[in-house]
Amino acid sequence: MRAAFMYEAGDLRVLDAPDPVIEQPTDAVVRILRSCVCGTDLHPYHSMTTDEAPRAMGHEFIGVVEELGSEVSGFRRGDLVVSPFFFADNTCEYCRAGLHTACPNGGWYSADGVNGAQAEAARVPQAQGTLVRLPADADDALLSSLLTLADVYGTGYHAAKQAGVRPGDAVTVIGDGAVGLLAVLSARQLGAERIILMGRHKDRTDIGRLFGATDVVPERGEEGIATVRELTGGHGTRAVLEAVGHLPAYEMAVGAVRAGGVISRVGVPQYEQAPIGFDSLFGANVTLTGGPAPVRAYIDALLPGVLDGTVDPGRVFDRALSLEETPEGYRAMDRREALKVMITL
């Protein structure tokens, strides 16, 4: 098959690779119909060294079941399925508690012995627990929204759920990437009344407004914090959803959150140390939460709204390319010419 590999920063190649096969009786092989490029894929695109090359890329896909291991039940060849970005058994105590990303039998695509999803096919470990069947007659127009269930929609939803967003709430969302915009959508679904979106790309924040943002703050840093505080009578908002992952975004979150409020992070932190002492979190009794989203836990709740058209999370895809054009997809996202690139196979 053909598959995308990173060789070093800025150097993504689509090459021939071995076709995935069933390795464990709990595996499935899925022929991929739609994949995409994630904001987190840009981190190695910026900084990867040749020591780690080649690295298989991609972790979001929907596709058709092609082969099933002997221990996988509940699926048939030809089923249309979505896979969360993290595979998991869906039976252990962490999965039962809704924390699939802590599953001891779980793991990441493009790592943990599994190929990437920017490819023609994928081996899916723990397939019975990982995959979710989609209505076989899902038409083409729905595929982009269904694809967001693999990561970005569930990740935005995780930010809002972990922050305990509730009816009437005031929420700040930091970041106008796909996850930030879907955090806006999720906060709205959970009943937030005031949603302040911090982002400076008008084409993106316009989607944020469609998703439910009531205010847009393009300023950053101290100026951005001051604007959020002005909009909220000096208090900040009870919840701040941080969908970027860089330290300045965390610092904005600390500045924008109300005393007693919650900062919920889903942007993968590109830092380890950060301020959490008396003057940042402790003195104001601010809670910090979040992490890699247990997307599998949310699909059952989010799927109906996608299928019946209540929500249209697929709006975050503003460009569709072929697998061979994947390098162009990275370039376009890196230059902020594209919000999120879908790969159509």
- Positions touching a second copy (CB under 8 A) are 94, 97, 99, 101-102, 162, 259-260, 265, 268-269, 271-292, 294
Report the Cα 80 to chain-centroid distance in Å.
20
- Minimum CB separation of residue 302 from a second copy in Å reads 19
Between 78 and 260, whose beta carbon lies closer to a second copy? 260
Between 287 and 344, whose beta carbon lies closer to a second copy? 287
Cα separation of 158 and 156, whole Å?
5
Cα separation of 125 and 140, whole Å?
27
Q: Where are the beta strands (DSSP E) in 58-152?
A: 61-68, 80-83, 86-87, 107-108, 121-124, 132-133
Between 28 and 262, whose beta carbon lies closer to a second copy? 262
Between 166 and 209, whose beta carbon lies closer to a second copy? 166
Give exposure, 133-169, as e/b (b: 16+ Cβ within 10 Å). Answer: ebeeebeeebbbbbbbbbbbbbbbbbbbbbbebeeeb
Q: Are 263 and 254 in contact (CB under 8 A)?
A: yes
Between 65 and 95, whose beta carbon lies closer to a second copy? 95
175 burial (CB, 10 Å; 0-12 / 13-18 / 19+) is buried
- Minimum CB separation of residue 275 from a second copy in Å reads 5
Between 5 and 298, whose beta carbon lies closer to a second copy? 298
Q: Are 290 and 162 in contact (CB under 8 A)?
A: yes
- Minimum CB separation of residue 249 from a second copy in Å reads 13
